[in-house]
Each structure stands twice: as structure tokens, then as C-alpha cells.
Amino acid sequence: MTELIPVTIITGFLGSGKTTLLKRILQGDHGVRIAVIENEFAAESIDHGLLVQDSDEQIVEMNNGCICCSVRGDLIRILGELQARRAAGIIAFDHVIIETTGLAAPGPVAQTFFAEPSVSEYYMLDAILTVVDARHAQQQLTAHKEAQEQVGFADRILLSKTDLVSKDELAALRQRLVAINGRAGIQKVRFGNVPLRDILNIRGFNLNAIVELEPDFLGELGHRHGDGVQSFVYHQSQPLDLLQVENFLDAVVQLFGTQLMRYKGILYVADLDCRAVFQGVHMLMGSELGAPWRDGEPRASKIIFIGRDLPQDMLIRGLDRCVTASVSEVAA
Ligand SMILES: Nc1nc2c(ncn2[C@@H]2O[C@H](COP(=O)(O)OP(=O)(O)OP(=O)(O)O)[C@@H](O)[C@H]2O)c(=O)[nH]1
């Protein structure tokens, strides 16, 4: 019998630090060849652009829907294709990491590895890692059942952003997490920094514990995303003024901070030879420099917004006004 390929699921609520963790893993000098399956709730993703672009890595995107429902068939197909290409010697990898959307219920994703013979013949679920944003988790756990499920299914809880909270806040959060899931170890991670031996090949997935938590796990696992979260993607081919974008979104989050759950973008800024990466979770936002534009590569901006009752028209109008003045004046 051929050895099963271990699979790690990285889950965690919107903006908790999943991509940051994945990037660290891919950059690590560990020799493990990793295939990545990225799932984005919005119709498009920028996460691929944020991860290292190394020819050794296989990064497959699954956009426009949540891996746990509408695109689960895609997951089965992609796993099948990866295995077939590996068996044919076209690609090589030792481990698969699936990064789910921040709104995914991990149950149906994990179930795929037990309920689908075409998958369980080649793959085994190693562990579900749940990244928990120490700064926002209390509110997310109260407001979103997906956040609770993600903690409930965790084999390891990775606490991010502990640098942004007090000792007392952290202790209260730990207590709440243990009450939801007393089985998973809890570990702090600063910007995704965690020893690989603590998270890969840990054989952490425990079917008995999950069946106890979710008695229907091996049967029909019904679920729904009931809280009206939506997304849209803003595109702009003209260069943007980074300061204006920051000022505009700063004002927007003051007004709509609770509705605007997650926003992230790759920006084309005039006079900048690299991408500007801009992102935020509720009211916390920041920007940094991204990968350089390659010669002849078309430059454009793309910003993803995820939230409830998004003020889409206002966001589009406001961002259109952030087109660099010299360009918009010429166009006028
Ligand atoms: N202060 C602080 N910020 C962090 C930490 N880890 C991640 N972040 C920041 O949190 C933001 C969101 O991180 P991502 O890794 O993109 O989050 P994500 O879970 O992949 O987001 P989605 O895929 O959109 O749900 C980024 O600005 C990160 O730099 C941390 O330990 N401390």
C-alpha cells in the first residue's frame, strides 16, 4: 500500500493570520515539499500574490465560495488532480496544506477525508490548525457561529496578535477557548512564527473526539452561513494615491468598522516599482510594500472587501477619487 499523503487544514476567522502563518511555513528551511490549496470567500484572491512564489510550491486557488459548501466538489477534484500529477511524476510534494476562508466551517472539509473514497485512498487528515486572533476573537466568538466551530474542531489553537492585548485579556480568552475545546493545545504565534514540528505531521486529528462533538460527522453534515456576510472586489487600472486610499478607508472604518469585517488589496501606486499591500480587520489596518512589478507586467489594483451590508457604491466612488491626481485630471 502506498503511504497516505498528510493534509493540514489551516482555519480561523477572517483576518486571524492564516496567510501569515502559511507564508512562514513556505519560507521555512525545512525541506518539506508542500502543495497549497487556497480558498477565498470573494470571487478573486490576492493571497497567492502574498505568498512566496517559489517554483517548488504548488499553489492552487479555489475562489468564489466557501470550501465547506459550494466548492467542496472542487476540493475533491483538485485533490484528485494533485495526486494524479504526483503519481505521474509531473509534480512532487510531501504534504498538502489547505487554507480555508475565514468563514468556513471545518467540519465538511474534514469530512471529505473520511467520506470520499477517492480522497481517503490517497490522503490522511493530519490536523486542523485554528488561528485565533487574540485582538478580535471575543467579539467574533460571540457574533459568529463559524468562529466557534473553528475553535471546536481544532487539534491545535494558534493564538495570533497576542502583542495587541493585555495579559488579563489573554487569560480571559484562553479560558473561553478551553471551555469550547479543552482537547486542543493552545500556542502563541507571533506573525506566524511557530516551529514546524509543532504543526506539521503531528497526527493530531482525532476522529473519536470529533464524532463526540459533531455526532453526524460521518453522516450528512448540514450547515449554513446564516449571517448575511457578502464580498465584493474593487478593480482599478489607473494608479492610486496610497495616502488618499489610507485616508479614505480610515474614514470608512470609523463609520462602518463593525460591518467591514475584512479588506485587503494589492495596490498599483504611481512612482512605486513594487506593489503596495494594504489590509485590515475591522478598525485595524496597515500597509506594506509587496513584490516588485515585473517588466512589462500589467499594473492594476485589486481590493477585496468582506462584511455585512457593505456600502459598495460609496466604496467604489471613494476609491475612484483616489486615482492619482495627474491621471484623473488628464482623463477629465
Ligand atoms: N500585530 C499582529 N498582527 C498580525 C499577527 N499575525 C498576523 N497579523 C496581521 O493580521 C493581518 C491579517 O493577517 P492574514 O494572515 O492576512 O489573515 P488571514 O487569516 O489569512 O485573512 P483572510 O484569509 O482574509 O481571512 C495582517 O495585517 C497581518 O500582518 C500577529 O501576531 N500580530
- For the segment 37-74, what is each residue's pLDDT rounded down to a tens digit? 888 766 566 666 555 444 455 666 665 555 555 567 78
The pLDDT of residue 163 is 97
pLDDT at 16: 96
Q: Kindly state if the Cβ of 307 falls inside 6 Å of ligand 1.
A: no
- pLDDT tens-place string over residues 268-298: 998 899 999 888 877 778 888 888 998 888 9
Amino acid (1-letter code) at residue 293:
W
What order of strands is seen across the sheet that includes strand 123-133?
58-62, 34-39, 95-99, 5-12, 123-133, 156-160, 185-188
- Average pLDDT in the chain: 83
Whether ligand 1 lies within 6 angstroms of the CB of 282 is answered as: no
Find the 331 Cα to ligand 1 centroid distance in Å: 37
By the 10 Å C-beta count (0-12 exposed, 13-18 middle, 19+ buried), 129 is classed as buried
Confidence at 332, pLDDT banded by 50, 70, 90: very low
Q: Report CA(217)–ligand 1 centroid distance (Å).
A: 30
**Cβ(77) – ligand 1 distance below 6 Å:** no
Q: Is the CB of 150 under 6 A from ligand 1?
A: no
**What is the per-residue DSSP string for 249-272?**
HHHHHHHHTTTEEEEEEEE-BTT-
Which of the two residues, 170 and 111, has the higher pLDDT score? 170
Q: Indicate if ligand 1 lies below 6 Å from the C-beta of 19.
A: yes
Question: How buried is 328 (Cβ within 10 angstroms: 0-12 exposed, 13-18 middle, 19+ buried)?
Answer: middle
- Nearest atom in ligand 1 to the alpha carbon of residue 262 is 24
Highest mean pLDDT among 151-155, 164-168, 197-201: 164-168
> What pLDDT sits at residue 131?
97
Lowest mean pLDDT among 2-11, 75-84, 103-112, 141-150: 103-112
The verdict on the CB of residue 15 being under 6 Å from ligand 1 is: yes
**Closest C-alpha among 84, 85, 125 to residue 106:** 125
Task: Measure 181 CA to ligand 1 centroid, in angstroms.
Answer: 23
ipTM of the complex: 0.98
pTM for the predicted model, two decimal places: 0.79
Whole-number Cα distances in Å, 276 to 280, 290, 303: 13, 5, 11
Q: Whose CA is nearest to atom 7 of ligand 1?
A: 17
CA of 13 to the centre of ligand 1 (A): 10
Cα–Cα distance, 83 to 91 (Å, whole number): 9
Helix (H, G, I), strand (E, B) or coil at 25: helix
Task: Answer yes or no: is the C-beta of 193 below 6 A from any ligand 1 atom.
Answer: no
Among 20, 59, 266, 284, the mutation site with the greatest number of ligand 1 atoms within 8 A of its Cβ is 20
Query: pLDDT band at residue 160, thresholds of 50, 70 and 90?
Result: very high
Residue 226 is predicted with a pLDDT of 45
193-242 pLDDT, tens digit each: 999 888 998 877 766 566 565 656 555 544 555 456 677 889 999 999 98
pLDDT above 50 for 155 = yes
Residue 321 has pLDDT above 50, yes or no: yes
Contact of 140 with 12, CB cutoff 8 Å: no
pLDDT at 250 over 80: yes
pLDDT at 92: 87
What percent of the chain has pLDDT above 70? 80
Which pLDDT does position 164 carry in this prediction?
96
More confident residue, 54 or 155: 155
CA of 15 to the centre of ligand 1 (A): 5
Instruction: Tell me the mean pLDDT in the region 66-92.
Output: 81
Q: Is 86 in the pocket of ligand 1 (CB under 6 A)?
A: no
